């Protein structure tokens, strides 16, 4: 009997224990000062010289997310409730004062603070009025300790981010120390250290800086040890090392080595450190110059004490070995990676929706031979889902192969097999293609990519108006060489805010192996530049210019429609639909047939309007002005096969189309999500490129134009456009 009852007793006991445990979990520990009132609003008044959003972002007290708190379990949209805590609010007031003092406002005061409590809604509204006062500026900057070196102290001081007269901030002071350290390391002083002190007189608004530099010996690269490898051969790591044993020490070469190892895309973690730095990182060695918080200690020291301490440190470090050994520690990435997702695009003349499934292996055949297979399948409507002229399945299956360090350290061999199916208003195109080439970076910013390309272009569901035109080309094989030269100094390729990029693409189509059926030469030159501006909120001003032309070199063989140049859409004149800055068929439905020359110009202003929207990323407003022009003639140069003449840059400027627009973009982990609306300023009713002739010719005198209300080209172009998608126009 006991053996039968025992399991039930254990079960009952377990239920009791678990029940008690569950009840215990429901109890919530109430923090000191915690209330049941939600924070409805936090308002800062009197903030003029700093970013109030940045202050609010640094506070523990946060505004309640409102309706998002009701769906807290949903990712991105949901958020936790925010309740008022008296203790944390008092600490936040001190955080506000600290924020100002770190930026040189030492006589900042909180004039008033209000807590408005609503017992009915169980909410509080918080407001703080601040008197900033006058900022303190740097009045003296002294750099000591460089006697006996080849370093010009005055030149070094001129390159610092602080100078006499600039506004004091703790961040600038620390940046100055780091700048001196980096400058010395670039002169091969690998062990350079900088100690310092700021003497501040808030009453007179004076800040005097004393920096004592201990350069240590000039150093050379020593032996390199590699750790953490499992399946990857060590030779690939060593080939990626940008320096040789015995070379003068240079931190830029260390950074380049780390970037090049990461670029192999076979490692999830890469650390390139001196042996001494690696030991400190592991906590195996506690040195006098790395263990304490030197800046905190310096606040309690006099100037003479700091000099004595720095001198003692220099004497202890005088025996440092000038030959610096390095350790490269890596962690290999996963062998297989799989990513899935969905994507969609909405424009006035095209809508699409697709799903993605991509896989990759960084060491598929061994030897760091990387294989990636990018796949998307979906459906597209042209122009729209509600009024489709043409619609169908879209497909992109892209198999890529990369062999790094092909015959030297920075050259990659790249291969590609791809099948694309696209839907346009006048036709559908199926394109299997092959590409093989070499790519190499120079100086971390210059990319040169050369390749051989072969594609079979199959056009289906072709509109009759395109078939009847004199530019229609049936299925054809295209064989061409391509060279890409890109000089890229942008701070971020996906969401740039500073820098510039110059790019040139050359394509030479011919029959190199007896396979090509078209002969032409195409060149596209582009430039982008970005300037961050200090206008109270983060702001970026961007400019883009792009010019391209195609030169016929094969007699009697016109350039296929799908290879010509088009403007309009999200990457060109945004007030026009995709491919609508073009020439059109001379009869039937208005189908774009492209151009031989195209010019694009754009200016875009981006302003941040909200920090960390929905706890995902910043929200920005965008205003832009676009210009574009196309010509059915070659740019500047004539060729024997050309039968349309040439066009000069002045003519392209005279025939520019103009559009203006604005929108929003939201910074997210998958890239900037944008919504743009644009309106055309130009009158296209008097532009021969967008008028059809009664005699069926491509161009004619205005007296022979079809009436505007009967012209299919005029009917096609709406004069405005909107775009929803991921990524910037430039």
Residue 673: both structure tokens together: 């999500």
| 325 and 188, same domain (yes or no) | yes
CA distance 499 to 529: 6
Q: How many CA atoms lie within 13 A of 539 on its CB side?
A: 11
CA distance 521 to 483: 12
Query: What's the CATH number where 294 sits?
Result: 3.10.20.310
Is residue 118 situated within a structural domain?
yes
Q: Please, is 627 exposed, middle or buried when counting C-beta atoms within 10 Å of its C-beta (0-12, 13-18, 19+)?
A: buried
620 neighbors 607 (Cβ within 8 angstroms): yes
| 150 and 275, same domain (yes or no) | yes
| 146 and 280, same domain (yes or no) | yes
292 pLDDT above the threshold of 70: no
Residue 5: both structure tokens together: 């009852």
* Sign of the torsion angle spanned by Cα atoms 572, 574, 579, 581: negative
Is residue 589 situated within a structural domain?
no
| 114 and 167, same domain (yes or no) | no
| 142 and 122, same domain (yes or no) | no
Looking at residue 431, its pLDDT comes to: 97
Q: Which residues constitute the domain of residue 82?
A: 34-131
Is residue 320 situated within a structural domain?
yes
| 304 and 181, same domain (yes or no) | yes
Collect all residues with Cβ–Cβ distance below 8 Å to 592 and sequence separation of at least 6: 425, 426, 566, 579, 580, 582, 583, 584
Of 551, 663, 660, which Cα lies nearest the Cα of 607? 663
655 pLDDT above the threshold of 60: yes
Compute the average pLDDT of residues 591-614: 93
677 pLDDT band, cuts 50/70/90, is very high
Looking at residue 282, its pLDDT comes to: 79
| 42 and 64, same domain (yes or no) | yes
Looking at residue 22, its pLDDT comes to: 42
Which range (17-31, 88-102, 359-373, 381-395) has the least confidence? 17-31
Q: Tell me whether strands 597-613 and 646-647 are parallel, antiparallel or unpaired.
A: unpaired
Query: Residues 290, 322, 256, CA angle at the centre, nearest 5°?
Result: 75
Is residue 238 situated within a structural domain?
yes
pLDDT tens for 613-636 read 887 889 999 999 999 999 999 999
- Residue 593: φ, ψ to 5°: -120, 10
pLDDT tens for 260-283 read 999 999 999 999 999 988 888 877
Looking at residue 306, its pLDDT comes to: 54
Q: Please, is 19 exposed, middle or buried when counting C-beta atoms within 10 Å of its C-beta (0-12, 13-18, 19+)?
A: exposed
308 pLDDT band, cuts 50/70/90, is low
Last residue of a domain, one of 90, 114, 131: 131
pLDDT tens for 717-728 read 999 999 988 889
C-alpha 587 chain-centroid distance: 44
pLDDT tens for 152-186 read 899 999 989 999 988 899 899 999 999 999 999 99
CA distance 71 to 188: 57
CA distance 519 to 510: 5
Task: Give the single-character DSSP code of 76.
Answer: T
Looking at residue 300, its pLDDT comes to: 38
Q: In 10 A of CB 36, how many CB atoms?
A: 8
Q: Indicate yes or no: pTM above 0.85.
A: no
**How many folded domains does the chain comprise?**
2
238 neighbors 264 (Cβ within 8 angstroms): no
CA distance 308 to 302: 10
Looking at residue 383, its pLDDT comes to: 84
pLDDT tens for 341-367 read 888 888 888 899 999 999 999 999 989
Is residue 98 situated within a structural domain?
yes
Number of helices (H), then strands (E), belonging to the chain: the values are 13, 30
Looking at residue 363, its pLDDT comes to: 92
Last residue of a domain, one of 317, 333, 349: 333
Is residue 83 situated within a structural domain?
yes
| 323 and 184, same domain (yes or no) | yes
CA distance 105 to 96: 11
Mean of all residue pLDDT scores within the chain:
88
Of 724, 603, 592, which Cα lies nearest the Cα of 659? 603
Looking at residue 285, its pLDDT comes to: 44
Residue 278: both structure tokens together: 């690696």
CA distance 693 to 394: 34
Is residue 234 situated within a structural domain?
yes
* Sign of the torsion angle spanned by Cα atoms 218, 223, 229, 231: positive
pLDDT tens for 110-147 read 999 999 999 999 999 999 999 999 999 999 999 999 98
Looking at residue 348, its pLDDT comes to: 85
Last residue of a domain, one of 110, 131, 152: 131
78 pLDDT above the threshold of 90: no
Instruction: State the SS3 of 413-440.
Output: EEEEEEEEEEECCCCEEEEEEEEEEEEE
Report CA-CA distances (Å) from 328 to 238, 240, 255, 283: 9, 11, 12, 17
| 78 and 213, same domain (yes or no) | no
| 241 and 185, same domain (yes or no) | yes
Looking at residue 20, its pLDDT comes to: 40
Plot region of 671 (φ>0 → left; ψ -120 to 50 → alpha; else → beta)? left
Q: Please, is 720 exposed, middle or buried when counting C-beta atoms within 10 Å of its C-beta (0-12, 13-18, 19+)?
A: middle
| 114 and 177, same domain (yes or no) | no
C-alpha 183 chain-centroid distance: 28
Of 430, 412, 413, which Cα lies nearest the Cα of 421? 430
Is residue 126 situated within a structural domain?
yes
Token look-up 């929200």 returns 619
| 60 and 120, same domain (yes or no) | yes
CA distance 108 to 96: 9
């Amino acid at each position: 009997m006991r053996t039968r009852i025992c399991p039930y007793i254990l079960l009952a006991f377990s239920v009791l224990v678990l029940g008690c445990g569950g009840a215990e979990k429901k109890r919530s520990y109430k923090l000191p000062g915690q209330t049941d009132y939600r924070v409805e609003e936090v308002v800062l008044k009197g903030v003029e010289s700093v970013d109030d959003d940045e202050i609010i972002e640094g506070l523990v007290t946060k505004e309640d997310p409102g309706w998002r708190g009701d769906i807290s379990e949903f990712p991105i949209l949901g958020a936790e409730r925010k309740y008022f805590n008296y203790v944390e609010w008092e600490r936040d007031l001190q955080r506000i004062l600290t924020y100002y003092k770190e930026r040189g406002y030492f006589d900042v005061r909180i004039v008033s603070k209000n807590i408005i409590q609503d017992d009915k809604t169980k909410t509080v509204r918080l407001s703080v009025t601040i008197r900033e006062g006058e900022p303190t500026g740097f009045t003296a900057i002294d750099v000591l300790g460089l006697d006996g070196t080849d370093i010009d102290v005055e030149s070094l001081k001129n390159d610092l981010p602080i100078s006499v007269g600039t506004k004091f901030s703790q961040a600038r002071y620390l940046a100055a120390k780091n700048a001196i350290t980096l400058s010395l390391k670039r002169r091969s002083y690998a062990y350079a250290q900088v100690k310092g002190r700021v003497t501040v007189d808030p009453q007179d608004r004076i800040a005097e800086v004393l920096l004592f530099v201990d350069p240590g010996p000039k150093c050379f690269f020593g032996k390199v040890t590699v750790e953490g490898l499992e399946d990857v051969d060590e030779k690939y790591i060593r080939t990626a090392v940008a320096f040789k044993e015995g070379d003068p020490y240079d931190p830029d070469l260390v950074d380049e080595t780390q970037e090049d190892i990461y670029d192999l895309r076979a490692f999830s973690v890469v650390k390139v450190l001196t042996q001494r730095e690696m030991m400190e990182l592991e906590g195996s060695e506690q040195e006098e110059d790395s263990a304490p918080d030197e800046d905190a200690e310096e606040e309690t020291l006099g100037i003479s004490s700091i000099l004595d301490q720095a001198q003692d440190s220099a004497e202890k470090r005088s025996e440092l070995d000038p030959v610096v050994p390095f350790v490269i520690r890596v962690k290999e990435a996963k062998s297989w990676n799989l990513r899935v997702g969905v994507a969609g695009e909405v424009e006035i003349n095209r809508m699409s929706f697709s799903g993605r499934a991509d896989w990759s292996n960084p060491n598929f055949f061994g030897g760091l031979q990387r294989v990636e297979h990018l796949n998307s399948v979906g459906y597209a409507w042209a122009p729209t889902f509600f009024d489709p002229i043409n619609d169908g399945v879209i497909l992109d299956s892209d198999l890529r192969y990369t062999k790094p360090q092909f015959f030297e350290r920075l050259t990659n061999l790249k291969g590609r097999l791809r099948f694309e199916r696209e839907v346009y208003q006048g036709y559908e195109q199926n394109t299997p293609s092959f590409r093989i080439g070499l790519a190499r970076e120079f100086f971390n910013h210059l990319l040169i990519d050369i390749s051989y390309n072969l594609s079979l272009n199959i056009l289906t569901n072709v509109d009759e108006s395109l078939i009847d035109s004199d530019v229609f080309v049936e299925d054809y094989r295209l064989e061409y060489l391509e060279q890409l030269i890109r000089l890229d100094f942008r701070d971020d390729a996906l969401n740039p805010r500073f820098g510039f990029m110059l790019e040139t693409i050359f394509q030479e189509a011919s029959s190199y192996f007896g396979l090509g059926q078209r002969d032409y030469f195409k060149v596209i030159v582009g430039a982008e530049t970005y300037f961050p501006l200090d206008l109270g909120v983060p702001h970026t001003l961007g400019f883009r210019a792009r010019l391209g032309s195609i030169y016929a070199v094969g007699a009697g063989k016109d350039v296929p429609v799908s290879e010509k140049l088009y403007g309009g859409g999200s990457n060109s004149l945004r007030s026009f639909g995709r491919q609508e800055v073009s020439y059109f068929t001379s009869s039937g439905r208005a189908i774009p047939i492209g151009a031989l020359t195209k010019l694009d110009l754009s200016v875009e202003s981006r302003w941040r309007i909200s920090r960390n929207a929905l706890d995902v990323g910043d929200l920005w407003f965008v205003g832009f002005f676009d210009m574009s022009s196309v010509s059915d003639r070659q740019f500047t140069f004539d060729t024997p096969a050309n039968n349309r003449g040439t066009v000069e840059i002045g003519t392209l400027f005279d025939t520019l189309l103009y559009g203006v627009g604005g929108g929003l973009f939201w910074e997210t982990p998958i890239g900037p999500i944008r919504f743009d609306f644009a309106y055309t300023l130009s009158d296209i009713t008097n532009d021969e490129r967008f008028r059809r002739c009664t005699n069926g010719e491509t161009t004619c005198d205005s007296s022979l134009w079809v009436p505007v209300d009967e012209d299919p080209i005029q009917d096609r172009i709406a004069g405005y456009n909107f775009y929803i998608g991921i990524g910037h126009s430039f």
